[in-house]
Amino acid sequence: MKPDESATLLLVDDDATFCRVLGAALTKRGFCVSTAHSVEQAIPMAEANPPEFAVVDLKMGGAPGLTLVKVLHALDPNTRIIVLTGYASISTAVEAIKLGATQYLSKPANADEIVAAFDHTPDGDAPIELQHTQIEHLEWEHIQRVLLEQDNNISATARALNMHRRTLQRKLNKPPLRSE
């Protein structure tokens, strides 16, 4: 894919070094890149100038990346959104696509893979590679889904999960290890 000279891209990841390196690589590929390090920082930027393309990390401090996917899709349904994550799973991939993401990629993803993913057209016929998932991953994904349903309200999520708020916060701060 060759972006227009003025193709705007919003890159959102809480890793500042990753943003700088990936932002430079995407700029070399013709995008006009803006970066943010949280959903809360990205939303006003997107509202002021809805991007044509977006690359959003799934798990960041503060609100999760899926919240931003929902906002970006509401601002402009034609925005091509790539969700990046170190915690890939079928359920979060499906949720990302439902909310308006174009593609879902596991980290580490390079600039060429991201640019190629912008051309992807989501469809229900794509084969999904099943992997065995540890119970900790399933629990973490379920908590993320309920948190999203509760508009990122920790207390409401704890009540919905019938869990003590501190226990929930501890689980949110410690994502499960990736199984290789």
Greater model confidence, 97 or 133: 97
Rounded Cα distance, 85 and 107, in Å: 5
Greater model confidence, 72 or 59: 72
Q: Do domains 8-118 and 135-173 have the same CATH topology?
A: no
Alpha helices (H) in the chain, listed in sequence order = 16-28, 39-48, 65-75, 90-99, 111-118, 135-149, 154-161, 165-173
Measuring CA to CA, which residue among 13, 66, 23, 71 is closest to residue 43?
71
CATH fold of 8-118? Rossmann fold (3.40.50)
Does 13 score more than 60 pLDDT?
A: yes
Does 174 score more than 90 pLDDT?
A: no
Type of residue at 73: H
Greater model confidence, 100 or 134: 100
pLDDT in tens, 106-131: 877 888 888 888 886 655 444 444 44
Domain ranges of the chain: 8-118, 135-173
Residue 125 in contact with residue 136, Cβ under 8 Å? no
- Cα-only R_g, the chain: 16
pLDDT in tens, 70-103: 999 999 999 999 998 877 677 778 888 888 888 8
With respect to CATH, is domain 135-173 assigned 1.10.10.60?
yes
Confidence at residue 122, expressed as pLDDT on a 0 to 100 scale: 53
The pLDDT > 90 percentage for the chain reads: 31
pLDDT, the chain, mean: 82
Whole-model pTM: value is: 0.66
Residue 65 in contact with residue 92, Cβ under 8 Å? no
